[in-house]
Amino acid sequence: MNLVLLRVEGDQARLDEIAERLDLHLDQRWTQGEADRRGARFRGSGYSATIADSQTPAEMIKHIREFVMLCRSTSTDFVGLRAELSVGVTVGDETQYAVAFELAPSDLAEIGALGITLAFAAYPSAGEE
């Protein structure tokens, strides 16, 4: 698994505008005050959308760059919202024992200029023992 999720919280009207402008296919949507799976209340309205679900880390990075280019070409940013690209990878199986990928300084600068935080997580595969 090489997965990238966009998670955004903030003003509902702005969220809707961004989702429409970027043609996002939302995986999850919530409203301010609604209970999450653990029973805590969401601080603001928001949603999550899959940006990449790729076979390889290189393909995943390609999708991240395409998303950034789409944001730039549509003059879309997330400044003033809580926005995160959550990058998750599985490790420890025969197809992806370890993961290495890199983002160039220009990638990081562009993501930051969009007002997006990056988060990374690696998950052990659930292979046979």
- pTM for the full predicted model: 0.86
What region does 10 belong to: left with phi over 0, alpha with psi -120 to 50, or beta? left
The answer to whether residue 129 is domain-embedded is no
pLDDT in tens, 61-111: 999 999 999 999 999 999 999 999 999 887 777 776 767 788 999 999 999
The answer to whether residue 128 is domain-embedded is no
The answer to whether residue 84 is domain-embedded is yes
Residues ≥6 apart with Cβ < 8 Å to 87? 3, 4, 60, 64, 118, 119, 120, 121
Domain that holds residue 113: 2-123
